[in-house]
Structure 1
């Protein structure tokens, strides 16, 4: 999550139970705020200058001052909240409660629960179409997306999607909804106006995070299982290129000032910053064709004893073989 004016990025660190503020210009940590256990997403409410985190293992949403990092409140929600949505105009934050199969609506100004929306098992990521006051909640275990009215909290329908929907993103420019299917490595596209399915795009393993460029041209997809970001050209409906990032990339955001892509890497505990992410980088280093394959069996004499040594002696062990000329 990026605060462009303050030149900060906010990262939810699920393994450290904290939110970290990063100075984007100096590229260093400004402050670290403890929240609930296993914070997964974070959203920024600019009008109140507050951060909201969904603390999955605490069944809470924590509210933090975006400028100082001071914890302001902790609000109980449904079981295992793993996703957040935000409608700044309605002054609401929505929590996708995975184990409860519900969406909890919170008043962003008063940090209190104002209602609950029935969803389905695995409710998590939430995207909001602010022009129509509609919200979309991905239900990971139910292969569906729940649609509801963000103002009245009335359920509006259900969209069937491929198994394991992990992230939903609304693009107001192209009027599309993007759904990342983590189990099949696909991105499904829907028209927001008509609800029509516009087809799927294939990415790498376990896509779990996404963001879209301000002009709607580029969709960036975090492939957690591959350590890459797929860059999709939404105009052509193809993958343009892939960017290698850290281990286990979980989500991403764009800095609207510089256009740089920020990727939070859960596996390596790092933040990758990519300049001009819409352009392909240098070609990846080519690996020898045997890299990644089992070591062929062979036997060689021991120079000290003359005994024949084989690779089977070190099966399932790590070792270094140094081949050199003996002349």
Structure 2
């Protein structure tokens, strides 16, 4: 007997206790602002981009301890692993670079400039055609890099807010999510020609392809939905509701399930790829940024930007207990601070609102 999902359950028997629920088995602390994670199941390593530490951390997948930490450019947001060359690529948003590391020993292989004031914030990978694509948010362009020679081989026009890039290797198509423009730029990964524009609504934050199901998914962080499109036609199929502010996603190895990181809720939504229905939610750390499946064990790895941790979930395809989310700051006295009034320039302090209820709005520039 098997369970529909991305990994079979353990065999049952007289001497074997089977747990029919997901379970958090580890949550190591990695550093400040872990935003993305890549996995090498064969080498038993995970690689996490810590955006606020300007570093990539390699984690042992069996012991759940850091193996090495390597400095990259400023504010690395995504990370991709090129297995043929065993190289890691990060897009360093505040350095306008793509840093290339040796995945085994953390040596810096190259640092490639992708523009000036470009704010590169997304990466796509076409291993068959030996290309890495970088979405430049401020420039509204996509930089194409040769994955072997580590050279820029072209720049593809996109739109403002260009970031996350999904690649359909079978059709040779790339899909770049343009956050501010509310669109996808579709391009040919061989010729580097832009092919079409697909309107997807406000705030597309992440896009991933599911070639098994023939779907493309676009996370709409502003409306807490995931748009499902056909890879064959590019036609939007439906909107799938998730929890607050989805920003990261991954597809199970068998294509049967989509996991969505809800940054505003500290959860991951598990969606059935066929029906689009949310089957359950998994409580993780604060501000989950992205996720990946370890194909060898079926475990889900979630990078938590707000907690500085990596949540490891066993049997993520199964429902389980919902852990209460309690932030460490809850119940503590607010620290004193002063800020200039945006209208008058007069300094305002927290003492003015002592013992009163008020709302502070922190706006993220990205």
- Shorter-chain TM range is 0.7 to 0.9
Residue number among 36, 58, 63 corresponding to 1:21 in the alignment:
58
Contact 1:242 1:280 in 2 (8 A): yes
Q: How many matched pairs?
A: 294
Correspondences of 1:185-224 after superposition (within 5 Å): 185-224=224-263
> What secondary structure, in the 3-state scheme, does the structure 2 residue paired with 1:141 have?
coil
Contact 1:8 1:23 in 2 (8 A): yes
> What secondary structure, in the 3-state scheme, does the structure 2 residue paired with 1:54 have?
strand
Q: Counterpart of 1:322? A: none
Contact 2:213 2:274 in 1 (8 A): no
Q: Distance in 1 between matches of 2:325 and 2:215?
A: 37
Q: Distance in 1 between matches of 2:264 and 2:230?
A: 28
Residue number among 304, 310, 315 corresponding to 2:355 in the alignment:
315
Correspondences of 1:30-69 after superposition (within 5 Å): 30-69=67-106
> What secondary structure, in the 3-state scheme, does the structure 1 residue paired with 2:180 have?
helix
Q: Distance in 2 between matches of 1:88 and 1:236?
A: 30
Q: Which runs of 5+ in 1 are unaligned?
A: 293-312, 318-327
- Alpha-carbon offset, residue 110 of structure 1: 1.2
Q: Distance in 2 between matches of 1:235 and 1:25?
A: 32
Deviations 1:106-164 (CA, angstroms, capped at 9, x unpaired): 01111110000000000000000000110000000000000000000001100100200
Contact 2:282 2:322 in 1 (8 A): no
Contact 2:206 2:249 in 1 (8 A): yes
- Alpha-carbon offset, residue 282 of structure 1: 2.1
Higher relative contact order (CA 8 A, sep 6+): 2
Contact 1:162 1:184 in 2 (8 A): no
State yes or no: 1:243 paired with 2:282: yes
State yes or no: 1:174 paired with 2:209: no
State yes or no: 1:12 paired with 2:49: yes
Quick check: which has more Rg, 1 or 2? 1
Which deviates the most, 6-15 or 195-204? 195-204
- Alpha-carbon offset, residue 215 of structure 1: 1.6
Q: Distance in 2 between matches of 1:24 and 1:141?
A: 36
- Alpha-carbon offset, residue 316 of structure 1: 4.3
- Stretches of 4+ moved more than 4 A in 1? 283-287
| Superposed CA RMSD | 1.8
Contact 2:302 2:311 in 1 (8 A): yes
Q: Distance in 2 between matches of 1:11 and 1:286?
A: 23
- Alpha-carbon offset, residue 314 of structure 1: 7.2
Correspondences of 1:79-228 after superposition (within 5 Å): 79-228=118-267
Deviations 1:264-285 (CA, angstroms, capped at 9, x unpaired): 0001100000000010012556
Q: Counterpart of 1:271? A: 310
Deviations 1:12-66 (CA, angstroms, capped at 9, x unpaired): 0000000000000011000000000000000000111100000000000000000
Deviations 1:171-223 (CA, angstroms, capped at 9, x unpaired): 11001100000000000000111222110001111100000111211100001
Q: Counterpart of 2:110? A: 73
